[in-house]
Amino acid sequence: MALFSPLNWFRSRSSQISCRTALSSQPSLEAAVNEVTAQLTGDSSADLALVFASTHYASDLPRLLPLLQHRLKATHWLGCAGDGVVGTTAEGNASELEKKTALSITMLQLPGAILKPFCLETESLPDLDGPAQHWQEWVGPDPLNTRSMLLLVDPSSPSINDLISGLDYAYPSAPKLGGIAGPHSAPHGSLFFDNQVVTGAVGCSFGGDWLMEAVVAQGCKPIGPVFAIEQVKRNVLLELSHENQRDSPMACLQQVLNDLSEEEREMVRHSLFLGIERRDIVLGGTGAAQPQGAFLVRNLIGVDPKNGSVAVAERIRAGQNVQFQLREAEASRQKAEQLLEAAKERSISPPLFGLLMACLGRGHGLYGTPNGDVNIARRLMKELPIAGVFCNGEIGPVGGATHIHGYTACWGLLRHDPSQQKSSSMF
């Protein structure tokens, strides 16, 4: 039996659908542009070009898009700079190039897609207490034609959490995926839009026959029981309970530590986090409602030995459930495999393309080997073209709302799905 190839599947359905990729690690921008454009053979144009460049090119970034557009044609151009890039060569070899000079290009031809790119100045946002229509008019895409959304944010942008909350308010049925671009010292932004380098935020809505399914792999394993929050002040946990027993968070943590192995106790010193349960409606890749609990993993930022309280990098409230989490490579690998496998099985159509927005805390530092997340996806979806960037914060949905994450791999699986579009009244 011949190996299944998603690209061959798409070619058999439509010769117009295409995903062309290129990757270069040349040290000079001109040499990198020459290499990627030489790799991009085939159709001369695309509906959407995704461009990811390392911040090593920072001073030359304003020249990047004009150089590419001199040789390549695409209706829309979008991307950002990061502390490393993810890309796939024309031969199909996918790589994570961490903290290295690199340029990744993806050219997507998507017949039947409704694409609406947007570029936002984020110094002043619409009122979150006002009508959702004000946000929709400000961003641009029609909610009826928005099935999912890619969002890239400049690291200098203020009020990023408010921006994400506003997009959820305006487009509640559309999963949002993306990241915060990498900072640099050059006197311009880190975002690519049209033929310019910009600040603020840029993105693109996907509608019509196409969607980008969001898969968020936070990379932690739970340790100990699930505790209920009894007392809290803003982001400081004061009292937890389990099986009618109340105690301080530090006392509860000590109980958890008593049941761990010596190896796990050692990892707690540098890899301990807290999962905060979100029991909202979880959006699937199509925006379909899936009622379930999901844990949002957050840093522990301080303790008070006097009363045993713990400060968390997230607003929390009494009545929520929490569980301590331990970040380690095998748990991260298993969780990513589980989530990607589930996404693969949910749809009869394989993804045309995989977008990876990854934290620099993953990669070689987490797995001990290069290409950790890329290899996981490739084992499940052979020949999948992959591109993306190492972010200053990853953006993706957990528990029915979009959040900024750390130490996370946020995947966007681009699918052709006309039947869902035509049958659903949500879009």
Q: Which two tokens stand for residue 372?
A: 């950790």
* Alpha-carbon gap, residue 338 to 213, rounded angstroms: 15
Concatenate the DSSP letters of all residues of 29-96 into one string: HHHHHHHHHHH--S-SEEEEEEEEEEGGGGGGHHHHHHHHHTT-EEEEEEEEEESEEEEE-TTS-EEE
Mean pLDDT, the chain, as a whole number?
Answer: 89
> Is the Cβ–Cβ distance between 251 and 308 less than 8 Å?
yes
3-state secondary structure of 257: helix
Give me the pLDDT at residue 291, please.
37
Model confidence band, residue 10 (pLDDT cutoffs 50, 70, 90):
very low
Residue 388: pLDDT above 50?
A: yes
Model confidence band, residue 420 (pLDDT cutoffs 50, 70, 90):
low
Model confidence band, residue 109 (pLDDT cutoffs 50, 70, 90):
very high
Residue 6: pLDDT above 70?
A: no
Least reliable range by pLDDT among 30-44, 64-78, 368-382: 30-44
* Alpha-carbon gap, residue 371 to 363, rounded angstroms: 6
Query: Cα separations (Å) of 184 from 98, 103, 120, 123, 272?
Result: 16, 16, 20, 20, 30
Q: Name the residue ranges covered by the structural domains of the chain.
A: 6-218+331-423, 220-327
Query: How deeply is 145 buried, as exposed, middle or buried, from its count of CB atoms within 10 A (0-12, 13-18, 19+)?
Result: middle
> Is the Cβ–Cβ distance between 85 and 97 less than 8 Å?
yes
* Alpha-carbon gap, residue 177 to 136, rounded angstroms: 18
* Alpha-carbon gap, residue 360 to 183, rounded angstroms: 13
Give me the pLDDT at residue 271, please.
87
Give me the pLDDT at residue 270, please.
84
- The backbone region for 399, taken as left when phi is positive above 0, alpha when psi lies in -120 to 50, beta otherwise, is left
Q: List pLDDT tens digits, range 282-340.
A: 444 444 333 345 889 999 999 999 999 999 999 899 999 999 999 888 888 998 999 99
Model confidence band, residue 255 (pLDDT cutoffs 50, 70, 90):
very high
Element (H, E) at 327: strand 321-327
Give me the pLDDT at residue 9, please.
42
Q: Percent of the chain, pLDDT > 70? A: 90
Residue 189: pLDDT above 70?
A: yes
In angstroms and rounded to an integer, the radius of gyration of the C-alpha atoms of the chain is: 22
